[in-house]
Amino acid sequence: MGKKLVSMNINGRKVEEAVEPRTLLIHFLREQMNLTGAHIGCETSHCGACTVDIDGKSVKSCTHLAIQCDGSDVLTVEGLAQDGVLHAVQEGFYQEHGLQCGFCTPGMLVRSYRLLQENPNPTEEEIRAGISGNLCRCTGYQNIVKAVQYAAKKLQETATA
Amino acid sequence: MIPPEFEYHAPTTLSDAVSLLNELGDEAKVLAGGHSLLPMMKMRFAEPAHLIDLNKIDQLRGIREEDGLIKIGAMTVENDILDSALLQQKASLLPKAVKLIADPQVRNRGTIGGDIAHGDPANDHPAIMKAMDATFVIAGPDGERSVKAVDFFHGTYMTDMAENEILAEIHIAPLPANAGTAYVKLKRKTGDWATAAAAVVLQMDGDKVAMVRIGLTNVADMALRATDAEALLVGNTLSDEVLSKVVQAVTAICDPAEDLRGDAEYKTAMAGEMTKRAILQAAGKLGE
């Protein structure tokens, strides 16, 4: 089967690439775009390590074809920091020790970023429900919840400053 | 894991999708949210030569009220059902149940139509649709036809749809303002299928049941409608005696497959318990 041209906007950069229809978005990002932040975990849409944003919605990129992103805006963990300054969610995970081995972290960060766009002031329960599609086998989630709370507070302070 | 090779098609109208499907025949599969089909393709349980992606067909998305009915496009994603003010107000069973389906990312892709048309008895919408007494609009080469949810499911992965047909729309009647709803689902973890689950729509007249519909998830080779249990409830109070008869009538029709979620006896017992809790929740006698 021949490759087809797709164009999309990844982290604010327009790219045009030839892909096989069967290429999954996660493989396209990691192997063709060299964006290795999003991880391949379970490959069956359970673990959330491959989470990215497509057109402002959190999606598991292991269960999405790259060709389906033609014309879309894609955000990966590499797009969170701006001009070398960590995004508030990244700072939160750093300050609150929201990771141990770090494998789930890129997915957690991108999902937390989107959760706070959708709900800037979530309760603890809403945070836990909001990241329920991202599995972490190290932290027990407690510090991840604190990291998201840290980011929510910081984003709100920045917004009102 | 990478799916086998296929030719990709992304029609922008339903009629183009139906023509393509009709032309390509059993070589083709229709792609909705992809959260069942893509994993099956990765594992080579499905190897379609052609994939017809319905995601670019705008007319298949959206929730609206028209001619006294609520009409849901088959490609409407779960999160849009969860957030729908119209459904929260007039068909609250759907958003309540959708909250218990998968996780936020999967709900951004997974569609109501895909969940129904896949014919998997573990999926949640089939039982919800039976409890809502929904009607499905199916598009084929000769036009559209309608099938009631209670007649749609034939068995595991088997439905009333022919290979050249596409599920287009779901029609449900708005529930009366005094109707209660509940979906009670036993599952091991977020994203898991139900060990057993019950969908209930209930209307009381004083302390007696005026109307009730019960759907059951994952306790047979298809979603069940528990009509015998319903008949035991209508005209009666929700006494312990009545409820224990209802539980017996529910467990009598269960025939679950044994798996890691439990053996047949356990799942059957849980179907009874989930039904009892769902009835009491729908009647406002048990917290969610």
Pairing of strands A13-19, B224-225: unpaired
Tokens 């959260």 -> residue: B35
Asked if residue B236 belongs to a domain, the reply is yes
> Is residue B145 within 8 angstroms of chain A, CB to CB?
no
Chain A with chain B: Cβ pairs closer than 8 A: 76
Is the pLDDT at B22 greater than 90? The verdict is yes
Asked if residue B135 belongs to a domain, the reply is yes
Structure confidence at residue B86 (pLDDT): 98
Asked if residue B41 belongs to a domain, the reply is yes
What are the Cα distances from residue B257, in Å, to A45, B162, B226, B265? 24, 26, 18, 10
Which of B8, B55, B104 shows the shortest C-beta gap to A133?
B104
Cβ atoms of residues A5 and A17 within 8 Å: yes
Is the pLDDT at B65 greater than 90? The verdict is yes
Asked if residue B167 belongs to a domain, the reply is yes
Same domain, yes or no, for B75 and B129?
Answer: yes
Residue B39: pLDDT band by 50, 70, 90 thresholds? very high
> Rounded distance, CA B103 to CA B101, Å?
7
Same domain, yes or no, for B163 and B242?
Answer: no
Which of B6, B79, B103 shows the shortest C-beta gap to A132?
B103
Point out the domain boundary residue: B30, B53, B76.
B53
Cβ atoms of residues B14 and B165 within 8 Å: no
Token readout for A118 is 């959708």
Same domain, yes or no, for B71 and B168?
Answer: yes
Asked if residue B34 belongs to a domain, the reply is yes
CATH assignment at residue B18: 3.30.43.10
Is the pLDDT at A119 greater than 70? The verdict is yes
Residues from chain B that touch A45, judged by Cβ atoms under 8 A, are 35, 39, 105-106
What are the Cα distances from residue A47, in Å, to A39, A44, A94, A131, A156? 10, 8, 22, 11, 29
Structure confidence at residue A112 (pLDDT): 98
What average pLDDT does range A138-147 have in this prediction?
97
Asked if residue B1 belongs to a domain, the reply is no
> Rounded distance, CA B46 to CA B55, Å?
20
Pick among A28, A65, A109 to test the B interface (most B CBs inside 10 A): A65
Averaged confidence pLDDT in chain A: 97
Same domain, yes or no, for B146 and B93?
Answer: yes
Token readout for A29 is 């990002």
Residue A30: pLDDT band by 50, 70, 90 thresholds? very high
Cβ atoms of residues B223 and B126 within 8 Å: yes
Structure confidence at residue A1 (pLDDT): 65
The residue among A4, A1, A3, A48 whose CA lies nearest residue A26 is A48
Same domain, yes or no, for B148 and B186?
Answer: no
What average pLDDT does range B47-69 have in this prediction?
98
Structure confidence at residue B7 (pLDDT): 97
Which domains does chain A show, CATH number per domain? Answer: 4-79 (3.10.20.30), 88-160 (1.10.150.120)
Same domain, yes or no, for B47 and B73?
Answer: no
> Is residue B288 within 8 angstroms of chain A, CB to CB?
no
Is the pLDDT at B288 greater than 80? The verdict is no
Same domain, yes or no, for B76 and B153?
Answer: yes
Structure confidence at residue B286 (pLDDT): 86
Question: B176 CA to chain A: closest CA distance, Å?
Answer: 30
Asked if A4's CB is within 8 angstroms of B8's CB, the reply is yes
Same domain, yes or no, for B241 and B215?
Answer: yes
Segment B142-196, tens digit of pLDDT: 999 999 999 999 999 999 999 999 999 999 999 999 999 999 999 999 999 999 9
Domain that includes residue B42, residue range = 7-53
Segment A46-95, tens digit of pLDDT: 999 999 999 999 999 999 999 999 999 999 999 999 999 999 999 999 99
Q: Is the pTM of the predicted complex or chain greater than 0.90? A: yes
Domain count, chain B: 3
What average pLDDT does range A131-154 have in this prediction?
97
> Is residue A32 within 8 angstroms of chain B, CB to CB?
no
Segment B197-248, tens digit of pLDDT: 999 999 999 999 999 999 999 999 999 999 999 999 999 999 999 999 999 9
Residue scoring higher pLDDT (A151 or A158): A151
Residues 40-99 of A with CB under 8 A from B: 43-46, 48, 51, 57-60, 63-65, 67-68
Residue A161: pLDDT band by 50, 70, 90 thresholds? confident
Same domain, yes or no, for B141 and B235?
Answer: no
Point out the domain boundary residue: B172, B205, B239.
B172
Asked if A27's CB is within 8 angstroms of B5's CB, the reply is no
Which residues are CB-contacts of B232 (< 8 A; sequence separation ≥ 6)?
A: B242, B245, B246, B249
Point out the domain boundary residue: B172, B207, B240.
B172
> Rounded distance, CA A37 to CA A27, Å?
12
Averaged confidence pLDDT in chain B: 97
Same domain, yes or no, for B102 and B167?
Answer: yes
Chain centroid offset of residue B125 CA: 1
Segment B241-262, tens digit of pLDDT: 999 999 999 999 999 999 999 9
CATH assignment at residue B253: 3.30.390.50
Residues from chain A that touch B2, judged by Cβ atoms under 8 A, are 22-24, 27
Phi, psi for residue B272 in degrees, rounded to 5: -65, -45
CATH assignment at residue B137: 3.30.465.10
Same domain, yes or no, for B77 and B119?
Answer: yes
Same domain, yes or no, for B74 and B165?
Answer: yes
- Strand boundaries in chain A, DSSP class E: 4-10, 13-19, 51-54, 57-60, 73-75
Residues 18-77 of B with CB under 8 A from A: 34-35, 38-39, 42, 51, 53, 55
In chain B the first and final C-alpha atoms are separated, in Å, by 39
What are the Cα distances from residue B224, in Å, to B72, B157, B158, B220, B259? 22, 15, 14, 7, 19
